[in-house]
Amino acid sequence: MTARTHDLAAITAYGYVVLTQPARMVTVTTALIAVVANQIGGIAPDIDQPTAPFWRNLPVGGYLGKLIDKMLGGHRFITHSLIGLVIFGVGFRALLDLLHPIMPAMDIHIVWWAFIIGMISHLVMDTFTKEGVPWLLPIPFKFGLPPVKSLRVTTGKWVEKSFFIGLLAVGLWYSSSHYTQLVNVFHHIK
Protein backbone atom coordinates (compact mmCIF):
# COMPACT_ATOMS: atom_id res chain seq x y z
CA MET A 1 0.00 0.00 0.00
CA THR A 2 1.09 3.57 -0.49
CA ALA A 3 2.47 5.73 2.33
CA ARG A 4 -0.66 7.90 2.16
CA THR A 5 -2.94 4.94 2.92
CA HIS A 6 -0.63 3.81 5.72
CA ASP A 7 -0.61 7.31 7.27
CA LEU A 8 -4.40 7.39 7.28
CA ALA A 9 -4.70 3.83 8.61
CA ALA A 10 -2.25 4.59 11.43
CA ILE A 11 -4.05 7.72 12.62
CA THR A 12 -7.49 6.06 12.26
CA ALA A 13 -6.37 3.07 14.37
CA TYR A 14 -4.83 5.39 16.95
CA GLY A 15 -7.90 7.62 17.07
CA TYR A 16 -10.09 4.56 17.58
CA VAL A 17 -7.96 3.35 20.52
CA VAL A 18 -7.85 6.82 22.11
CA LEU A 19 -11.63 7.25 21.84
CA THR A 20 -12.39 3.84 23.34
CA GLN A 21 -10.12 4.38 26.37
CA PRO A 22 -11.07 6.60 29.34
CA ALA A 23 -9.51 10.01 28.59
CA ARG A 24 -6.48 10.91 30.65
CA MET A 25 -4.50 14.09 31.12
CA VAL A 26 -1.60 14.47 28.70
CA THR A 27 0.78 17.33 28.03
CA VAL A 28 0.82 19.11 24.66
CA THR A 29 4.32 17.63 24.13
CA THR A 30 3.01 14.10 24.65
CA ALA A 31 0.02 14.63 22.35
CA LEU A 32 2.15 16.05 19.51
CA ILE A 33 4.95 13.49 19.79
CA ALA A 34 2.40 10.66 20.03
CA VAL A 35 0.87 11.70 16.68
CA VAL A 36 4.33 11.92 15.04
CA ALA A 37 5.36 8.55 16.54
CA ASN A 38 2.11 7.04 15.29
CA GLN A 39 2.81 8.24 11.74
CA ILE A 40 6.43 7.00 11.85
CA GLY A 41 5.21 3.62 13.14
CA GLY A 42 2.70 3.59 10.30
CA ILE A 43 5.42 3.65 7.62
CA ALA A 44 8.37 2.14 9.55
CA PRO A 45 8.02 -1.41 8.13
CA ASP A 46 8.64 -0.04 4.61
CA ILE A 47 12.26 0.91 5.38
CA ASP A 48 12.96 -2.43 3.63
CA GLN A 49 11.75 -0.85 0.39
CA PRO A 50 14.54 1.06 -1.42
CA THR A 51 11.99 3.29 -3.19
CA ALA A 52 10.06 4.16 0.00
CA PRO A 53 9.43 7.90 0.60
CA PHE A 54 11.36 7.37 3.81
CA TRP A 55 14.56 6.86 1.76
CA ARG A 56 13.78 9.12 -1.17
CA ASN A 57 13.93 12.14 1.14
CA LEU A 58 17.53 11.45 2.19
CA PRO A 59 20.47 12.64 0.03
CA VAL A 60 22.11 9.18 -0.17
CA GLY A 61 18.78 7.46 0.43
CA GLY A 62 18.66 5.45 -2.79
CA TYR A 63 21.96 3.74 -2.12
CA LEU A 64 21.37 3.34 1.63
CA GLY A 65 17.87 2.02 0.95
CA LYS A 66 19.21 -0.71 -1.34
CA LEU A 67 21.82 -1.69 1.26
CA ILE A 68 19.22 -1.91 4.06
CA ASP A 69 16.95 -3.78 1.67
CA LYS A 70 19.61 -6.50 1.22
CA MET A 71 20.32 -6.63 4.97
CA LEU A 72 16.66 -7.03 5.89
CA GLY A 73 16.08 -9.75 3.30
CA GLY A 74 14.14 -7.70 0.71
CA HIS A 75 10.67 -6.16 0.75
CA ARG A 76 8.00 -7.66 3.00
CA PHE A 77 10.39 -9.65 5.14
CA ILE A 78 11.54 -9.17 8.74
CA THR A 79 10.06 -5.67 9.23
CA HIS A 80 6.66 -7.07 8.17
CA SER A 81 6.47 -9.75 10.89
CA LEU A 82 5.75 -10.15 14.59
CA ILE A 83 9.50 -10.53 15.24
CA GLY A 84 10.03 -7.21 13.46
CA LEU A 85 7.31 -5.65 15.62
CA VAL A 86 9.10 -6.82 18.79
CA ILE A 87 12.51 -5.59 17.52
CA PHE A 88 11.08 -2.17 16.58
CA GLY A 89 9.15 -2.03 19.87
CA VAL A 90 12.25 -2.71 21.97
CA GLY A 91 14.37 -0.31 19.87
CA PHE A 92 11.82 2.49 20.03
CA ARG A 93 11.43 2.04 23.79
CA ALA A 94 15.24 2.34 24.19
CA LEU A 95 15.19 5.54 22.13
CA LEU A 96 12.39 6.99 24.28
CA ASP A 97 14.27 6.12 27.48
CA LEU A 98 17.26 7.96 26.04
CA LEU A 99 15.17 11.05 25.16
CA HIS A 100 13.21 11.18 28.40
CA PRO A 101 15.78 13.14 30.48
CA ILE A 102 15.73 15.99 27.94
CA MET A 103 11.95 15.75 27.41
CA PRO A 104 10.50 15.10 30.86
CA ALA A 105 7.04 16.35 29.79
CA MET A 106 6.71 13.40 27.39
CA ASP A 107 4.73 10.37 28.57
CA ILE A 108 6.85 7.47 27.22
CA HIS A 109 4.07 4.94 27.68
CA ILE A 110 1.58 6.85 25.51
CA VAL A 111 4.14 7.69 22.79
CA TRP A 112 5.33 4.08 22.66
CA TRP A 113 1.79 2.75 22.22
CA ALA A 114 1.07 5.33 19.51
CA PHE A 115 4.09 4.02 17.57
CA ILE A 116 3.14 0.35 18.06
CA ILE A 117 -0.48 0.95 17.00
CA GLY A 118 0.83 2.68 13.85
CA MET A 119 3.08 -0.27 13.08
CA ILE A 120 0.37 -2.89 13.68
CA SER A 121 -1.99 -0.94 11.40
CA HIS A 122 0.69 -1.14 8.68
CA LEU A 123 0.94 -4.92 8.90
CA VAL A 124 -2.85 -5.30 8.96
CA MET A 125 -3.25 -3.07 5.89
CA ASP A 126 -0.52 -4.89 3.95
CA THR A 127 -2.30 -8.17 4.72
CA PHE A 128 -5.02 -7.03 2.31
CA THR A 129 -2.54 -6.69 -0.57
CA LYS A 130 -1.56 -9.28 -3.18
CA GLU A 131 1.94 -9.84 -1.69
CA GLY A 132 0.60 -10.66 1.80
CA VAL A 133 2.55 -10.40 5.06
CA PRO A 134 4.95 -12.99 6.58
CA TRP A 135 3.46 -12.46 10.08
CA LEU A 136 5.03 -15.58 11.59
CA LEU A 137 8.63 -15.39 10.35
CA PRO A 138 10.81 -17.48 10.41
CA ILE A 139 7.88 -19.53 9.07
CA PRO A 140 8.18 -18.35 5.44
CA PHE A 141 4.48 -18.04 4.69
CA LYS A 142 2.86 -14.80 3.60
CA PHE A 143 -0.64 -14.42 5.01
CA GLY A 144 -3.26 -12.48 3.11
CA LEU A 145 -6.90 -11.50 3.36
CA PRO A 146 -9.02 -12.64 1.73
CA PRO A 147 -7.13 -15.95 1.28
CA VAL A 148 -7.84 -15.86 -2.47
CA LYS A 149 -5.02 -13.73 -3.90
CA SER A 150 -6.91 -12.37 -6.90
CA LEU A 151 -9.42 -10.69 -4.57
CA ARG A 152 -6.72 -8.70 -2.75
CA VAL A 153 -5.56 -5.12 -3.27
CA THR A 154 -2.85 -4.14 -5.77
CA THR A 155 -0.84 -1.20 -4.40
CA GLY A 156 -1.68 2.10 -6.08
CA LYS A 157 -4.62 0.71 -8.08
CA TRP A 158 -8.24 1.85 -7.87
CA VAL A 159 -9.09 -0.74 -5.18
CA GLU A 160 -6.51 0.85 -2.92
CA LYS A 161 -7.95 4.28 -3.70
CA SER A 162 -11.42 3.08 -2.72
CA PHE A 163 -9.89 1.53 0.40
CA PHE A 164 -8.47 4.96 1.22
CA ILE A 165 -11.80 6.71 0.73
CA GLY A 166 -13.64 4.00 2.68
CA LEU A 167 -11.21 4.32 5.57
CA LEU A 168 -11.57 8.09 5.54
CA ALA A 169 -15.36 7.78 5.57
CA VAL A 170 -15.31 5.31 8.47
CA GLY A 171 -12.89 7.57 10.38
CA LEU A 172 -15.06 10.65 9.87
CA TRP A 173 -18.24 8.77 10.75
CA TYR A 174 -16.66 7.30 13.89
CA SER A 175 -15.29 10.63 15.12
CA SER A 176 -18.57 12.44 14.50
CA SER A 177 -20.58 9.71 16.25
CA HIS A 178 -18.14 9.95 19.19
CA TYR A 179 -17.99 13.72 19.14
CA THR A 180 -18.38 14.17 22.92
CA GLN A 181 -15.50 11.77 23.64
CA LEU A 182 -13.42 13.54 20.99
CA VAL A 183 -13.96 16.94 22.62
CA ASN A 184 -13.25 15.35 25.99
CA VAL A 185 -9.89 14.02 24.71
CA PHE A 186 -8.91 17.54 23.60
CA HIS A 187 -9.95 18.90 27.01
CA HIS A 188 -7.45 16.50 28.57
CA ILE A 189 -4.49 18.10 26.78
CA LYS A 190 -2.83 20.58 29.13
Report the nearest approach of Zn ion to the CB of residue 142 (Å): 12
- Give the nearest distance from C-beta 172 to Zn ion in angstroms: 25
48 is an interface residue for Zn ion by CB under 5 A: no
Of the candidates 88, 103, 108, the one whose C-alpha atom is nearest the C-alpha of residue 34 is 108
CA proximity to 127, closest of 140, 141, 144, 142? 144
Q: Which is nearer to Zn ion, 3 or 32 (CB)?
A: 3
Q: CA of 93: how far to CAs of 39, 43, 86, in Å?
A: 16, 17, 10
User: Residue 30 or residue 79: which is nearer to Zn ion going by CB?
Assistant: 79
Total residues in contact with Zn ion, by rule CB under 5 A: 3
* Min dist. Cβ of residue 51 to Zn ion (A): 12
126 binds Zn ion, rule: CB under 5 A: yes
Find the helix or strand (DSSP H, E) in which 112 lies: helix 108-127
Q: Which is nearer to Zn ion, 32 or 167 (CB)?
A: 167
Is 69 a binding residue for Zn ion by CB under 5 A? The answer is no
Q: Smaller CB distance to Zn ion: residue 19 or 44?
A: 44
Using CB under 5 A as the binding rule, whether residue 160 contacts Zn ion is answered as: no
What is the pattern of x (binds Zn ion, CB under 5 A) and - over residues 131-150?
Answer: --------------------
Q: Does 46 bind Zn ion (CB under 5 A)?
A: yes
User: CB-based burial of residue 24 (10 Å sphere; 0-12 exposed, 13-18 middle, 19+ buried)?
Assistant: exposed
Beta carbon nearer to Zn ion, 5 or 30: 5
Q: Which residues of 141-180 are buried (b: 16+ CB within 10 A; e: fewer)?
A: ebebeeeeeeebbeeeeeebeebbeebeeebeeeeeebee
Q: Which residues bind Zn ion (CB under 5 A)?
A: 45-46, 126
